[in-house]
Amino acid sequence: MPAKQKIIPTEKLKKAEVINQYTGETWIYSDTVKDHFFHPRNLLLDEPEANYFDADGMVGSPACGDMMTMWVKIDDDKITDLKWKTFGCGSAIASTSMFSEMVTENGGMNIIDALKVRPQDVMKRLDGLPNRKIHCSVLADKAFRKTMNQYFRNTGQHDRVIAEGSRIVDKQLNITDKDIEEAVLEGAKDLYEVQKKLKVGVGDPQAIPEIEQLIRFYTEKYYG
Residue 187, pLDDT score: 80
| Same-domain pairing of 118 and 218 | no
What does pTM read for this prediction? Answer: 0.70
Q: What CATH number did the domain enclosing 61 receive?
A: 3.90.1010.10
Look up the CATH number of the domain holding residue 219: 1.10.10.1100
Q: Do 193 and 101 sit in the same domain of this protein? A: no
Q: Which residue numbers are catalytic?
A: 64, 136
Question: 37 with 146, same domain?
Answer: yes
CA distances to 7, 28, 44, 92 from 34, rounded to whole Å, are: 27, 10, 19, 12
Angle of helix 191-198 relative to helix 177-185, nearest 10 degrees, comes to 110
Q: 215, 213, 210: which is closest to 197 by C-alpha?
A: 215
Alpha-carbon span 110 to 84, nearest angstrom: 19
Dmax over CA atoms of the chain, in Å, equals 65
- pLDDT tens string, the chain, 224 residues long: the values are 444 444 444 444 445 555 655 556 566 889 999 999 999 999 998 999 999 999 999 887 555 567 899 999 999 999 999 999 988 788 889 999 999 999 999 999 999 999 999 888 998 999 988 777 777 778 899 899 989 999 998 999 988 988 766 788 888 888 889 889 888 887 888 999 999 988 899 888 899 999 999 999 988 887 76
Q: CA end-to-end span of the chain, whole Å?
A: 42
